[in-house]
Amino acid sequence: MSVITEHQLHTIRTSQDDYTVEAVSPVPGLWIYKIPDEVEPATAFRWRIGHHTGTAIACALYEADVKRAAKTIADLADWTKSPEELRAEVDADELYLLVGRDGCEQPRYV
């Protein structure tokens, strides 16, 4: 997987359904995108860092926050691995501490 700086279509998974969004991949295995209006319509946290499999990792109010957080966690893991491998290797508390410093938090629909 490579870094993709121009928007491409990416499928995300939510508890409601799967959606296709425009996204960029600043770090191999991670995607940055804005969730569709029908996903969590009451939340102001529209921006996401997502895994290449479609699972959301972190959310934020602003695109700049998710971009900064993706760079912060870039070296924390090989994000091209499966979610199962990442759960075994990445300390979730450390992950959310790091992204929290950049204005992100854990998404609600994961």
Confidence of residue 7 (pLDDT cuts 50, 70, 90): confident
pLDDT band at residue 110 using 50, 70 and 90 as cut-offs: very low
Helix (H) or strand (E) holding 71: helix 63-73
- What mean pLDDT is reported for the chain? 90
Cα of 13 vs its chain's centroid, Å = 11
Q: Residue 57 has which token pair?
A: 């990792």
* CA 41 centroid distance within chain: 18
Sheet of 18-27, strands arranged across: 4-13, 18-27, 30-34, 47-51, 56-60, 104-105
Q: What is the pLDDT of residues 32-48, one digit of tens each?
A: 999 999 988 889 999 99
